[in-house]
Structure 1
């Protein structure tokens, strides 16, 4: 694989990796460093990558596995920035407080989902990945990924209904 082919087929995926890596590692500087390390690792294996039938899947699974290795080694504190609310000017705004409460409730519900459902819903609804990319990263079939997302959304919906029904009396 030449330098140009590597840029087109592998390095071009780095921007699509950033949301997943950032979420897994907790912050942007760690994610940027990890993506550089991943690209170096892939560059060193470029001759084997050239023969791989699904380069995108290989890149995503390599990134995911690299993040898991980092978390195991360093025991980083995971900071989930995906649920951070935009800081608004008015602190007394009722709508803002309701939105903040809703985000907190949804965050708790998602954290209680089974691991695969949690990863799929975060990657699809928060990070904006396509089903093909999610399936490749998690090494699942596309159909199974769709089922996991559907079940996760249904559980979140049911839990929200229970929460709000309970609050309303």
Structure 2
């Protein structure tokens, strides 16, 4: 793989993996450093990358594994990295306080989800990855990604319904 090929096929994906890396590491400056390290690792593997059938999936997998390695070294739990997660933003004039409250409720629900369901939900619905990219990153089948996402959404929906029904006095 030439320098130009690497730039277009791999380096251009750095903006795609940045939100995931920033979320996992909890800080934009750490994420920027991690992206540089990930790109160096990928540059060193450029000959293998040239023959890889799913470069985008491999880049996401490499980024995820790098972040997990850093988190293991620092003994920081993955759940702690969701503390800065902004799930939804106010777009229709509702008060910021309502959106902050909803974000807090969803974050609490996410901490109760099984790890794979939480990761799939965040990668798909928050970071915006495709099913094949998530499957490659987590090294599972696409069908399993769909099942995990469906289960996560159902649990979140049920928990939100319980929360809002309780607030309205129905429970």
| Global fold match (TM > 0.5) | yes
Q: Report how far residue 84 of structure 1 moved.
A: 7.3
Q: Report how far residue 74 of structure 1 moved.
A: 2.4
Gap runs ≥5 in structure 1: 88-93
SS at match of 2:52: coil
CA distance in 1, matches of 2:126, 2:65: 20
CA distance in 1, matches of 2:58, 2:88: 33
SS at match of 1:83: coil
Distance 1:145-1:84 versus aligned 2 partners, 3 A rule = closer
Q: Report how far residue 85 of structure 1 moved.
A: 7.8
The residue that corresponds to 2:65 in the other structure is 65
Instruction: Choose from 72, 82, 91 the match for 2:85.
Output: 82
The residue that corresponds to 1:153 in the other structure is 153
The residue that corresponds to 1:99 in the other structure is 99
Q: TM-score, normalised by structure 2?
A: 0.87
Shifted more, 94-103 versus 30-39: the winner is 94-103
CA distance in 2, matches of 1:104, 1:158: 16
Q: Is the 8 A contact 1:82 1:126 kept in 2?
A: no
Q: Is the 8 A contact 1:61 1:136 kept in 2?
A: yes
The residue that corresponds to 1:91 in the other structure is none
CA distance in 1, matches of 2:51, 2:43: 14
Instruction: Report 1:18-167 matches (<5 A).
Output: 18-76=18-76, 78-80=80-82, 81-83=84-86, 95-167=95-167
Q: Report how far residue 100 of structure 1 moved.
A: 2.2
CA distance in 2, matches of 1:53, 1:115: 28
CA distance in 2, matches of 1:6, 1:97: 44
Distance 1:84-1:143 versus aligned 2 partners, 3 A rule = closer
Distance 1:58-1:96 versus aligned 2 partners, 3 A rule = closer
The two structures, once aligned, show a CA RMSD in angstroms of 2.2
CA distance in 1, matches of 2:87, 2:119: 18
Q: TM-score, normalised by structure 1?
A: 0.88
